[in-house]
Amino acid sequence: MKILSVFFLLSLTFMHSSAQNNDYIVFEELSGIDTLHEGPFKLLNNDVELSRNGKSFHIFNLYFSKHNFRAYGLDRKAFTKAYDDYKQIENDVLITLTPLTDSLEQKMTRLSTNELAGLHLFKPDNLLQNVIKNLYGAFSKNDIKPDGLSGLVRTTRYKMLIKRNGTYYRVDAPILTEYYVIDKASYLFPDGYHYGEINVASKVATKYVTGNIIDSILHHNPSGTFNSYYPRMTIEDRTYLSACVSTDSCNIYTYWSYPPKGIGRFQFIEGIGIVNGTYNAFFDKNFIIHVENDLITPDNDYNGPFVMKIKSVNDLPINEVCKKTYRTDNPSGIVKSESGY
């Protein structure tokens, strides 16, 4: 498909809100698939570079795991305890930082020791505790603990520092930050899903959310009426698994949310993080994609099409990273492929 449009980002919209906050999240650049250790967790820092029309776009993944970056069923009891003690959580937690700019290197300012001393930096343990509290609030709307807590799982209030070879650089652009719990579950109905959940279910389970039930909720039935059994409110603020494909040695899962928010539709690889997104909320309002002879607006295709290609992960080709991540003799103990998958 030939894409002929120009790519725009609405970065100025979010500049004011982020400029009023001095909380910084630090992303330390690592080599290949090296991991850090933070208490009982391993931490992967993966910089995913996307490209389009000669421009680059980055998604920075902070990926916490106790269990070698493998997804398991949602441990609700541990999740509840982790509200007060982050070390109690058993599921993996993913934090993504997306600078809303296509010229990142030009937006990075080197900081002196004195400048760095004047900033409030989130330590990994404090960051994880804050993220878990917000995720808990989002999940409690459904079946964790319906106590009325509100959860913020996406924000542009935080700023970002990149630590490169011992030197800190401030990113002078708005930062979209999102939080996710990673689990593995098969839900029978749409209202089983949660917003802020990356559900790594089986390939069979993905057929459900691409079928006629969800489609009839979002659109009219053949009779011209809306679906009354599942009103739209039952699928709002949830993240749905819609596909899983194996390509370039990677198992890539695709997700979408209704209504489209933040990253929009996105792709996830277990053991690596989020590797692509549509980001429709941040495109210029006049953004229109000409694909062949059709006009596709960002709201179509359940959050728009992917218009960016995965260029690298930590400066390595994506297929090479996947091979290292899934190989059976991986010394880092990251994801190992399941037999028959």
Q: Which amino acid is at 336?
A: K
How much of the chain exceeds pLDDT 70, in percent? 68
pLDDT of residue 218: 55
pLDDT of residue 137: 83
Question: Cα–Cα distance between 257 and 265 in angstroms, integer?
Answer: 7
114/243: higher pLDDT: 114
- For 174-209, the pLDDT digits (tens) are 999 999 999 998 777 767 788 889 998 765 554 445
Query: Is pLDDT at 288 greater than 50 in this prediction?
Result: no
CB atoms within 10 A of CB 216: 17
CB contact at 8 A, 135 and 75: no
For residues 301-319, give the mean pLDDT: 81
pLDDT of residue 204: 54
* 221 Cβ contact list (under 8 Å, min separation 6): 227
Q: How confident is the model at residue 340 (pLDDT cuts 50, 70, 90)?
A: very low
C-alpha pair distances (Å), 157 with each of 19, 22, 40, 129, 174: 8, 9, 28, 17, 8
For residues 211-238, give the mean pLDDT: 55
Q: How confident is the model at residue 283 (pLDDT cuts 50, 70, 90)?
A: low
- Please tell me the pTM assigned to this model: 0.82
pLDDT of residue 27: 96
Query: Is pLDDT at 49 greater than 90 in this prediction?
Result: yes
* 63 Cβ contact list (under 8 Å, min separation 6): 43, 44, 45, 46, 69, 92, 93, 94, 95, 271, 272, 273
Q: How confident is the model at residue 279 (pLDDT cuts 50, 70, 90)?
A: confident
Q: Give the least confident one: 98-102, 143-147, 266-270, 328-332.
A: 143-147
For residues 116-138, give the mean pLDDT: 92
Q: Give the least confident one: 21-35, 202-216, 225-239, 241-255.
A: 202-216
Among 100, 112, 181, 85, smallest CA distance to 142 is for 181
For tokens 């009891």, name the residue.
77
pLDDT of residue 130: 92
Among 137, 141, 164, smallest CA distance to 152 is for 137
Question: Cα–Cα distance between 280 and 284 in angstroms, integer?
Answer: 8
Residue 324, both tokens: 């290292």
Identify the bridge partners of residue 15 per DSSP, sorted by sequence position: none
For residues 28-36, give the mean pLDDT: 83
Q: How confident is the model at residue 315 (pLDDT cuts 50, 70, 90)?
A: very high
pLDDT of residue 341: 22
Query: Is pLDDT at 335 greater than 80 in this prediction?
Result: no
156/285: higher pLDDT: 156
DSSP string, 190-207: GGG--TTEEE---HHHHH
pLDDT of residue 23: 92
Chain centroid offset of residue 119 CA: 26
> How, if at all, do strands 23-28 and 159-164 pair?
parallel
pLDDT of residue 5: 33
Q: Give the least confident one: 16-20, 156-160, 183-187, 262-266.
A: 16-20
pLDDT of residue 24: 97
Question: Cα–Cα distance between 333 and 8 in angstroms, integer?
Answer: 40
